[in-house]
Amino acid sequence: MTIVAASLLSADFMHLETQVRMLEQAGVDWLHVDVMDGHFVPNLTIGPFIIEQIRRISKLPLDVHLMIANPEKYINTYIQAGADWLTVHGEVIKNDPTLLRKIRAQGVKAGLSLNPDADIGDYSGLFEDIDLFLVMSVFAGFGGQAFIPSTLDKARTAAVWREERGLRFFISIDGGINLDTAPPARQAGVDMVVSGSALFRSADPRDFVARLKET
Ligand code: DX5
Ligand code: ZN
């Protein structure tokens, strides 16, 4: 079964609790929270204050995707707010696993994400220190963009490394995921998908999530 994370970026924030309940009833496995700082990406979104409130109303794992330029300053804040999974970008931490290790040392799962134009070969040394590899299938920054098929090469490479090096991490994919793009992602070795606009736009989210899971 494909694990399904719902990206809250496409939720109606005037009715966030109702939206979270809808996602729970639709059967999503994780809530994906996109944190943007206006520096690493040209958009600003959700801070720890909102995550803390979501944490209070839901038991679903919180998969926090940090698209920020200074994650070292903020990881503790996001952990305290209730993040179960904390993903940082390779473009920000470069080839240095220190931050990933700090996240893990606090009992939180550490994720690494790469934008479509990043060369995964430059980050090979980080894969021993992660619990999640988040392939960006669009450029980080906005929901509702079109899936970039060439990004699946990163999932394939990560799946090979996982096997060859005897590692254990999930491979997730984020951006433009729908019922057409999820199957090739699964074939490329992806274990879980993040879905935002397609899920929130679907007429029957429960059916949509069930079909994504069956991918
Ligand atoms: C983009 C975010 C994604 C986005 C996915 O920067 O990381 O999580 O919200 O949304 P869709 O599914 O609309 O591409
Ligand atoms: Zn995301």
pLDDT category at 170 given cuts 50, 70, 90 is very high
pLDDT category at 213 given cuts 50, 70, 90 is very high
Burial of residue 75 (number of CB atoms within 10 Å: 0-12, 13-18, 19+): buried
Q: Which fold has domain 3-213?
A: TIM Barrel (3.20.20)
Alpha-carbon distance 58 to 45, whole Å? 20
Q: Give the helix ranges, DSSP H, for the chain.
A: 16-26, 48-57, 71-81, 90-93, 98-105, 152-164, 182-187, 197-201, 205-214
Residue 127 and residue 161 in contact, taking contact as beta carbons nearer than 8 Å:
yes
> Ligand 1 centre and the CA of 179: distance in Å?
15
Catalytic entry in 37, 129, 131, 174: 174
Give the pTM: 0.98
- Separation of first and last alpha carbons in the chain: 7
Q: Which protein residue's CA is at the shortest distance from atom 12 of ligand 1?
A: 196
Query: For the segment 106-163, what is each residue's pLDDT rounded down to a tens digit?
Result: 999 999 999 999 999 999 999 999 999 999 999 999 999 999 999 999 999 999 999 9
Residues with CB under 5 A from ligand 2 (ion): 34, 65, 174
> Ligand 1 centre and the CA of 176: distance in Å?
7
Identify the pLDDT of residue 93.
Answer: 98
Identify the pLDDT of residue 194.
Answer: 98
Identify the pLDDT of residue 42.
Answer: 97
Identify the pLDDT of residue 15.
Answer: 98
Identify the pLDDT of residue 65.
Answer: 98
Nearest ligand to residue 63 Cα: 2
**Looking up tokens 């924030």, which residue turns up?**
13
Query: For the segment 75-98, what is each residue's pLDDT rounded down to a tens digit?
Result: 999 999 999 999 999 999 999 999
To the query of whether residue 174 is one of the catalytic residues in this protein, the response is yes
Overall average pLDDT of the 37-55 stretch:
97
Ligand 1, pocket residues at CB < 6 Å: 7, 9-10, 32, 34, 65, 138, 140-145, 174-177, 194-198
Helix (H, G, I), strand (E, B) or coil at 112: strand
Domain borders along the chain are 3-213
Burial of residue 42 (number of CB atoms within 10 Å: 0-12, 13-18, 19+): exposed
How does the average pLDDT of the chain come out, rounded? 98
